[in-house]
A and B are shown apart, each in its own frame.
Chain A
């Protein structure tokens, strides 16, 4: 009898499916505004059927960390992705973490060992593609489509349609309209690929991410509010098209299948970029062997701390780094001192840093040792940076939009339990909807 129920349960599980649409860098407030303005009628309709709410992203609020947190349901102390850049162990050479550095099981790996099939399209930090029960083509920073895609047949298809892994942001050098055209082209081909995989393949878990929104925001954020900006109309049209696409996907799925939309961080207007390494230099904590350092390899042995993007502070500890000079006994007081000084950092008469946290307040797990010793969180509009060759503490660059940790978005066509949603909760929610239990996540299921 028990066997019968078990079998029946398994058959029930078979029917459980989940669709996830990621919209890189879409702020909840912006979507709400577009709903109110009638720019996104499909999303408006969906919002009535379920829950559209804001969500906090990971710390730091960069795509690689946030999407890794999403796809593992655990904190960076366990999945190991603290940012886009790291230093190689025992050296000052750059390392760019890729899919091999994600140390926790991904949602599709968990689904796969439960005999469920996944399609995973354009999720950041999944390059190079690892084999899975299903199909995967990697997102940012993917370099070669063939290495980005599993299996070969999916690569053949993507190549045949002229699939684009990313927007060519160098088009911004040509003109804003050339960039806009390229965003549009990349977006069109992305949607085509997503709908093709959705329609023509078997899947239990379908995850796809739109990257073009993030590129639009970084480069053309000012076009949103400025009606005279040549790309103002383009910005709105992009969201109109995105809304139609949400409608198309939803139509195929129907109300029965859980449909999730999420973003990995919010966006805001950059008032100033703040260069934390320049600040550390000014305060005497950081020194390079050259006046104009080429990389972290020009680190001076008297340096006490340095920053990797966006605001990850590492104490230059003896024993941990080849030229490290900070003794264990000095570590605590140094962190405290930097924290206090950071909290009084002022640019253009305004305080920049909202909160300073130590690694033990943020992270836990096997990869805790790799975590930054201190992380700074800024007030909105101040984009914290780890650039090494800046001489001024604050400035502006070619980017007009910057990430926010708050104001990411979560949507599901159902009611949810719990509030104060964090991106770490999305993975456990998906697994619970698929009927897969017993995984030790850091997040909590919202259903």
Chain B
């Protein structure tokens, strides 16, 4: 997308942004149908906003709300489970938990080593694809193999099993530089599907304005100072004041999230260090 187009969308008012998101969601539902489309929900503020927008759009269209997919990568905060259970019930969400239990069953704690030979054929194939030649790998969110099996493979298996043709995710342009190239509809391989990214143009501030305006329940960790929620164990809070009261415009949203020290470690590991 051209830069001026991106800037124009990012500068819209909250109501205009909501309208644009609904338009994207309508297009997605018309194109793929509710059955072949899944909404990736993490329990975080962004994907909860997206789920609400989906519900609202489906209500307006008079169609069934697509199913949600929740990835349990084995290190989910208790507070995330709280909001998960609450909204699942209150909003009547049809949620499938995608979990690579073949892997997680082999580890009691984060950091435990898992033997490659103990895994099923699919997981072993995935590890071979990474050209990982070791006999074991650590069960932890920042590990190359662990991350791949618990997140990517869990998600792919869910999509294959349910013949999902489109997956909606709640990434935003202002979150990370690498996301600037993303578009509202983006084709993906392995498995072939379309990513729908209906809130790309929301800024962090918009999310909080939206949540308070529409009284959307949110995970209690944000009140404790967490800005962005990733895996438990690699996410820390950046401040003791609630997320929405922090200096959102001049500080880095994902700093507490496996960023800084953890992110440096991740980047170094990707190049074979540590």
Q: Which residues of A contact B (CB under 8 A)?
A: 62, 84-85, 94, 96, 140-141, 143-147, 159-166, 168-170, 172-175, 177-178, 185, 215, 218, 273, 292, 294, 309-310, 383, 385-387, 389-392, 395-400, 402
Contact = CB atoms under 8 A, between A and B. Distances in A.
Contacts of A147: 252
B113 A85 contact: no
Contact of A141 (B147, B177, B252, B267): B267
Contacts of B181: 162, 185
A309 B273 contact: yes
Contacts of A402: 272
Interface in B239-274: 252, 255, 259-261, 263-265, 267-268, 270-274
Nearest to B113: A292
Contacts of B97: none
Given A174-B152, A400-B131, A218 B271 contact: yes
Nearest to B250: A146
B107 to A, nearest CB: 11
Contacts of A140: 267
B18 to A, nearest CB: 25
3 tightest Cβ-Cβ pairs between the two chains A and B: A396-B133, A162-B180, A169-B270
A143 B274 contact: no
Contact of B130 (A144, A159, A172, A218): A172
A383 B272 contact: yes
Contact of B3 (A162, A165, A175): A162
A218 B272 contact: yes
A215 B136 CA distance: 25
Contacts of B136: 391
Given A144-B252, A164-B177, A309-B274, A294 B133 contact: no
A364 B274 CA distance: 26
Contacts of B252: 143-144, 146-147
B259 A399 contact: no
B261 A168 contact: no
19 contacts: A84-B273, A94-B265, A143-B252, A145-B177, A146-B252, A147-B252, A162-B180, A169-B271, A170-B270, A178-B189, A178-B190, A218-B272, A292-B113, A309-B274, A385-B273, A391-B136, A398-B132, A398-B144, A400-B131
Nearest to B110: A294
Contacts of A160: 3
Given A145-B177, A292-B112, A392 B135 contact: yes
A120 B3 CA distance: 25
Interface of B: 3, 111-113, 130-136, 138, 144, 147-148, 152, 177-178, 180-181, 189-190, 252, 255, 259-261, 263-265, 267-268, 270-274
A143 B268 contact: no
Given A163-B177, A175-B190, A185-B181, 5 more contacts: A292-B113, A385-B272, A385-B273, A387-B274, A396-B133
Given A175-B189, A185-B181, A397-B132, A84 B111 contact: no
Contacts of A292: 111-113, 138
B111 A397 contact: no
B273 A96 contact: no
> What does DSSP make chain B's interface, helix, strand, loop or mixed?
mixed
B152 A173 contact: yes
Contacts of A400: 131
Contacts of B131: 396-398, 400
A291 to B, nearest CB: 9
A84 to B, nearest CB: 5
Contacts of A96: 261, 264-265, 268
Nearest to B179: A162
B273 A85 contact: yes
B147 to A, nearest CB: 8
Nearest to A275: B134
Contacts of B111: 292, 294
A302 to B, nearest CB: 22
A129 to B, nearest CB: 14
Nearest to A95: B261
A52 to B, nearest CB: 27
A153 B135 CA distance: 50
A399 B271 contact: yes
A395 B133 contact: yes
Contacts of A169: 267, 270-271
A143 B263 contact: yes
Nearest to A388: B274
A159 B6 CA distance: 12
Residue in A159, A385, A397, A398 whose Cβ sees the most chain B Cβ within 10 Å: A398
A173 B178 contact: no
Contacts of B133: 395-397
A28 to B, nearest CB: 22
Given A161-B3, A387-B274, A141 B132 contact: no
**Which of A94, A170, A185, A392 has the largest count of B CB atoms less than 10 A from its CB?**
A170
Contacts of A218: 271-272
A161 B144 CA distance: 30
B21 to A, nearest CB: 21
A397 B178 contact: no
B148 A389 contact: no
Contacts of B113: 292, 389
B112 to A, nearest CB: 7
Nearest to B6: A162
Contact of B264 (A143, A174, A185, A310): A143
A238 to B, nearest CB: 18
A307 to B, nearest CB: 12
